[in-house]
Amino acid sequence: MFLKKNKPKGSLEVICGSMFSGKSEELIRRLKRSQIAKQNTLAFKHNLDDRKTIEYVISHSGNKIKAFAVDTVKLILDLTPPEIEVIGIDEVQFFSMDIIPVVLKLVSMGKKVIIAGLDLDFRGIPFGPIPALLAIADKITKLNAICVRCGAEAQHTQRLIDGIPAKFHDPIVLVGAEECYEARCRNCYSIDIHDFIEKYEQKQNSI
């Protein structure tokens, strides 16, 4: 027989994948199911462009749910009333590492936290706090998009500048430029990684 404890049962679910893989759609689906189950839900997304506070989590197919747009993780704690049972957070890759203690706190308070974010940046490097969140998650869902070049499963987000793959040292975050990104499979994805590898090797040799 298992011992029953009275502690509230919080949990962390992480939905990750490339752009267009359906992360926002899946987050919205899970939040709407919680609402059907009469659970108090609240959604947040990162407010990258710093303009509106009341926003929507919107998928590329137009599905949406109302959300607070915030630029610091502290606001997530401040804006969550005690009666909230399920919290969804989109675009989590843009938050600082401070998101980790905040998520752990919400989970320890018995809340179900569902987060969605890009696992890799356009360079193919794990994005911000996502790797750590994957490690502490109870449940992980990794989604693929469809490669726009060959129709295979796409793991990568290709950034294009005037139709040409962006360079490794370009800025990681490019606000409001969705048209610069394509979903691509490993074979069709292209990044100029040689600079990075060369510099890394030079550094290793000089140690």
Residues with catalytic roles: 91
The dihedrals phi and psi of 176, each to the nearest 5 degrees, come to 60, 40
The dihedrals phi and psi of 174, each to the nearest 5 degrees, come to -125, 105
- How many distinct helices (H) and strands (E) make up the chain? 5, 12
Give the shortest CB-18-to-Zn ion separation in angstroms: 12
The interface with Zn ion within residues 134-163 (CB under 5 A) comprises 147, 149-150, 152
Residue closer to ligand ADP by CB (options 10, 20) is 20
Whole-number Å distance between alpha carbons of 22 and 20? 5
Residue closer to ligand ADP by CB (options 23, 111) is 23
Give the shortest CB-30-to-ligand ADP separation in angstroms: 12
Dihedral angle computed from the Cα positions of residues 94, 126, 155 and 189, in that order, rounded to the nearest 10 degrees: 100
Q: Is residue 193 a contact point for ligand ADP (CB under 6 A)?
A: no
The interface with ligand ADP within residues 53-112 (CB under 6 A) comprises 59-61
Say which entry of Zn ion, ligand ADP, none residue 105 contacts (CB below 5 to 8 A, set by partner kind). Answer: none
Whole-number Å distance between alpha carbons of 135 and 14? 10
Question: If you search the block for the tokens 């706190």, which residue do you land on?
Answer: 105
Considering only 10, 12, 13, 21, the residue that binds ligand ADP (CB under 6 A) is 21
Longest dimension (CA), the chain: 64
Q: Which residues bind ligand ADP (CB under 6 A)?
A: 17, 19-25, 59-61, 145-146, 148, 183
Q: Which residues bind Zn ion (CB under 5 A)?
A: 147, 149-150, 152, 185, 188
